[in-house]
């Protein structure tokens, strides 16, 4: 079965060195504030989500169902000094969910406690099931996939913003999470970067099954076809989603691909053409309907406005910053499909 995490959450920040080390938790709180009732921090923690500090007992008293490991530390490892907190949460009847590379379920003490208390451990980065290979066979329902000129350019945020805008308009839609933070936000999903490459498209087909003809699955993108490290996972998503619509996400101030200084950032036109060419293998009608631009690092409002206007005019589609402008213009184009 798909990962299905129960909320409300208690966000565990452990001994996070700074705010960046709690980026997973920050993303969850931003999008699902009503699911997050409190935070639990160890004495050396230097991160703060602005949530009430709670003990395990206090969290249980207000109805928390899952302790979420909200730390993204170097190497994705479990701190030895976290184990007693996880066991205490399980003994109190909570499930434990983690997006780390290291599996919490491999910790014998924690696993034994979960078994004894009939609680679940969710290592969301590691799918708990196998998948068939993708077929590319057409299925009813509509799907949008966010893609990028690079990795870490706002694909998850854009997908969530589009799903939220559709929801406010009364449209039938679901956000489909494909990474660990997205899974915590959605409460379910498949972390496709941990799926064997031959099965990524099949996992994506499974995550976005046939649906009503007017239902939109908004699929969280990963990586970029133009990134030498992460193009493989992107291609599997592109083929498996059978997207009717793509939204290209972009960070305009970068001078090279993230993590590879020798690799220049690709041209937007090339990215649109490349992603559409790949998408049309499984959906010949795929269209790019908008450009989502992270303008947070741009120096002036004038430069930001000029860039968005130039992109919109040059590519004949909405170009917006989802944080500053919202995504209404993109959803208007989506609803016209």
H or E element: which one contains 5?
none
Length of the chain: 337
Helices 231-241, 200-207: axis angle to 10 degrees equals 40
SS3 31: helix
Whether the model clears a pTM of 0.95, i.e. scores above it, the answer is no
For residue 169, count other CB atoms closer than 10 A to its CB. Answer: 12
Please report the pLDDT score of residue 72 as a whole number: 80
**Cβ within 8 Å of residue 186, ≥6 positions away:** 175, 176, 177
Q: How far apart are alpha carbons 208 and 98 in whole angstroms?
A: 23
Yes or no: domain 142-335 corresponds to CATH 3.40.50.2300? no
Which tokens is 260 given? 């590879």
pLDDT in tens, 57-114: 999 999 999 999 999 876 678 889 999 999 999 999 999 999 888 999 999 999 999 9
pLDDT in tens, 10-29: 999 999 999 888 989 999 99
Q: 36-41 and 66-69 as β-strands: parallel, antiparallel, unpaired?
A: unpaired
pLDDT in tens, 42-54: 999 999 999 999 9
Please report the pLDDT score of residue 36 as a whole number: 97
Q: How far apart are alpha carbons 240 and 283 in whole angstroms?
A: 10
Phi, psi dihedral angles at 75 (to 5 degrees): 85, -10
Q: If you average pLDDT over residues 294-300, what whole number do you get? A: 93
Please report the pLDDT score of residue 75 as a whole number: 67
* Domain range summary for the chain, segments of one domain joined by +: 3-123, 142-335
Cβ-in-10-Å burial (0-12, 13-18, 19+) of 291 comes to: buried
CATH superfamily of 3-123: NAD(P)-binding Rossmann-like Domain (3.40.50.720)
**Cβ within 8 Å of residue 173, ≥6 positions away:** 163, 166, 167, 215, 216, 217, 218
pLDDT above 70 (res 295): yes
pLDDT above 70 (res 117): yes
Residues 63, 66, 67: CA angle, nearest 5 degrees? 115
Q: Is residue 71 within 8 Å of residue 12, measured between CB atoms?
A: yes
Same fold, 3-123 and 142-335: yes
Concatenated DSSP letters of 204-233: HHHHS----TT-EEEEPP-S-TT-TTTHHH
**Cβ within 8 Å of residue 164, ≥6 positions away:** none
């Amino acid at each position: 079965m798909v990962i299905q995490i129960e909320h409300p959450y208690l966000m565990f920040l452990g001994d996070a060195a700074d705010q960046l080390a709690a980026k997973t938790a920050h993303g969850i709180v931003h999008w699902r504030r009503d699911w997050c009732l409190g935070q639990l921090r160890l004495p050396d923690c230097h991160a703060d989500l602005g949530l009430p500090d709670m003990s395990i007992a206090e969290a249980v008293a207000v109805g928390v169902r899952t302790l979420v490991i909200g730390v993204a530390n170097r190497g994705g490892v479990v701190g030895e000094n976290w184990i007693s907190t996880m066991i205490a949460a399980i003994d109190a009847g909570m499930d434990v969910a983690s997006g780390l590379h290291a599996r919490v379920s491999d910790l014998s003490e924690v696993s034994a406690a979960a078994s004894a208390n009939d609680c679940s451990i969710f290592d969301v980065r590691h799918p708990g099931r196998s998948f068939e290979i993708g077929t590319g066979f057409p299925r009813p329902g509509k799907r949008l996939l966010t893609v990028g000129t690079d990795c870490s350019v706002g694909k998850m945020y854009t997908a969530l913003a589009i799903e939220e805008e559709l929801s406010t308009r009364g449209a039938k839609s679901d956000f489909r999470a494909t990474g660990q933070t997205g899974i915590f936000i959605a409460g379910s999903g498949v972390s496709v970067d941990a799926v064997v490459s031959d099965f990524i498209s099949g996992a994506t087909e499974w995550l976005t099954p046939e649906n009503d003809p007017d239902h939109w699955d908004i699929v969280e993108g990963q990586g970029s076809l133009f990134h030498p490290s992460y193009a493989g996972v992107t291609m599997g998503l592109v083929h498996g989603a059978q997207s009717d619509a793509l939204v290209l996400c972009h960070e305009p101030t970068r001078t090279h691909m993230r993590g590879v200084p020798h690799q220049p950032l690709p041209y937007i036109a090339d990215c649109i053409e490349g992603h559409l060419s790949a998408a049309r293998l499984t959906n010949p009608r795929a269209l790019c309907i908008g450009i989502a631009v992270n303008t947070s690092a741009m120096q002036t409002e004038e430069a930001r406005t000029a860039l968005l206007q130039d992109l919109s005019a040059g590519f004949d589609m909405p170009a917006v910053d989802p944080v500053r402008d919202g995504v209404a213009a993109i959803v208007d184009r989506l609803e016209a499909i």
